[in-house]
Structure 1
């Protein structure tokens, strides 16, 4: 499992900035249930996860990233961060890269079911995936399209958490 933080130990942003926005955070992240990750609004955009610098007592900004390989939306906060504890399964990864190169991120809303499996990751190529066991020595996912009747398996080459 790879740790992801958009901030270096000195509190400087270490990821590329895609754009700047103003907004507020209203609860803990649903995508990445770790401390210092939030679910935020900037205008009409729902951003999750948004990371606060853990070394700052009252951060003025958060860095919102769709996935570990994309630039951040840096949100200047218009209100204090919420005190909500992390939500959901704290062992679930936030993002995956499969051995075939597909990249997947945790879904935060309604997810498709195939063969009674909740496909809680949205991947490139129009497929969805479910991690079989994130603690296994070799992590695999089951994946397919929402219209599939059976699922295929693939090995996970990298996993991220905030």
Structure 2
């Protein structure tokens, strides 16, 4: 009986360490996660237009290189999209679609919502999306394309 009680007490004593070792939530994502991922989709404002900017390799987005693919939105009012608190979907020329459902009121690098990548005849892939800081992602001629949000696959 003494052994069982000792083992139980030892187990209880370990619980705080187990809890403290648990992974943090999505707000812990940072630049490093973008650089290590296979792909990144940015929600980008380029002057008066907006687009999903797709990078096959996340680290390529950190040196102002143009995206591997883009899906542009037309708003009809010559204003960029307000990405927060809304749903957006766009289909790239390849037939791949990407959609986002974002919240708002967060700081850079904090989780803001999710994205879904749909490739024809494949299982949809879920992405976690985060607030960026509005930095210049790349230039399209003389127009600066700014990173408003970024999404990585789970």
Structure-1-length-normalised TM-score? 0.20
Instruction: Report the TM-score when normalising by structure 2.
Output: 0.20
Q: Kindly name which structure, 1 or 2, has the bigger radius of gyration based on alpha carbons.
A: 2
Decide which structure has greater helix share. 2
